Amino acid sequence: MASRSNRTAVLPAAVMYTLWMAGTWFFEGRIETLLRPDAVLDRLVYAFAINLCLGIAGTVLIVRWLARRPGAPGPERSGFGSWTRALTCAVIGFGLGLASYLGQGAPSTDPVVVANAFSQVFVVSVAEVMVCWVLAGAAVEAALEPRMGRAATVPAALVSAVLFGAYHFAHSAPFNTWSMVALLTVVGLATGAFYFLGRDVLGTAIFHNFLGTFGVTQALAATGGLKALDALQVPLLGTAGATTAVLLAGYWWVRGGRSIRSV
């Protein structure tokens, strides 16, 4: 069995996942925020309080704390490696994500529409990657590694995908249905493959976000709502920019303010 030190990250991961999922239900699923286009304030609270502050910044704090504890996954294993790795994985994630978006039959190829949709879901996508893979996935892997070795990555990827799918029960329809949760769990396997192979948060978030972008544009196309995104939306771009800034600051801070040139 894994030693107590190797299970260090499991409890914080479980607590964060529970709080994040509960917050999502309270500020989104309970009041169907995403189904009400006029609920601007509710959307902002959901995006910033639950995803940017709790899911992203909160996970950064926990990963930073765990970095100094024995048996817990270090910065590199959690996805906070060098700038070179981050840039490389970001380019690869963008390329693979865009190919996936186009390969599934892109609902829109208008660059403005795609940019708006990408920005709209980016804060949620980053929070999903941070909580389900960076925190929970890496914790499970570290806990099982003493007994399973490198094979521990497989159950870690499976657990992360299941947690990602189950998280959508906290959302409004149609994401809270069993069929959608099952589909998103499969999607989570693709994200997990990218994360555990690349070991980089930014690249994984970009790749994962293209999967979310497809879902959003597909839903909007079905209801004739794509026209709402045919002009650049400054609030959406601003939210994505703030998310990127917090994430990049996390790279520096998780490493204790030290240079992250080394992998």
Q: Domain count of the chain?
A: 1
Whole-number pLDDT of residue 5: 53
Is residue 260 assigned to a domain?
no
Is residue 110 assigned to a domain?
yes
**What is the C-alpha to C-alpha distance for residues 9 and 74, in angstroms, rounded to an integer?**
11
CA atoms within 13 A on the CB side of 234: 0
Is residue 262 assigned to a domain?
no
Whole-number pLDDT of residue 69: 77
**What is the C-alpha to C-alpha distance for residues 136 and 148, in angstroms, rounded to an integer?**
17
Is residue 75 assigned to a domain?
yes
Assigned token pair, 160: 């992360």
Whole-number pLDDT of residue 182: 97
Please, are residues 137 and 195 in contact by the beta-carbon 8 Å criterion? yes
**What is the C-alpha to C-alpha distance for residues 205 and 193, in angstroms, rounded to an integer?**
12
Q: Tell how far CA 228 is from the center of its chain.
A: 25
Question: From the CB of residue 37, how many other CB atoms can be counted at a distance below 10 Å?
Answer: 9
**What is the C-alpha to C-alpha distance for residues 147 and 1, in angstroms, rounded to an integer?**
6
Whole-number pLDDT of residue 261: 43
**What is the C-alpha to C-alpha distance for residues 68 and 31, in angstroms, rounded to an integer?**
40
Q: Tell how far CA 147 is from the center of its chain.
A: 28
- 72: containing domain: 5-254
Is residue 129 assigned to a domain?
yes
Region of residue 3 (left: phi > 0; alpha: psi -120 to 50; beta: else): beta
Backbone phi, psi, residue 81, to 5°:
-100, -145
Whole-number pLDDT of residue 177: 95
* pTM for the predicted model, two decimal places: 0.92
**Which residues in the chain show pLDDT less than 50?**
1-3, 259-263
Instruction: Dump pLDDT digits (tens) for 124-152.
Output: 999 999 999 999 999 999 999 989 999 99
Assigned token pair, 209: 């976000």
Is residue 263 assigned to a domain?
no
Whole-number pLDDT of residue 260: 42
DSSP 8-state secondary structure symbol assigned to residue 233: -
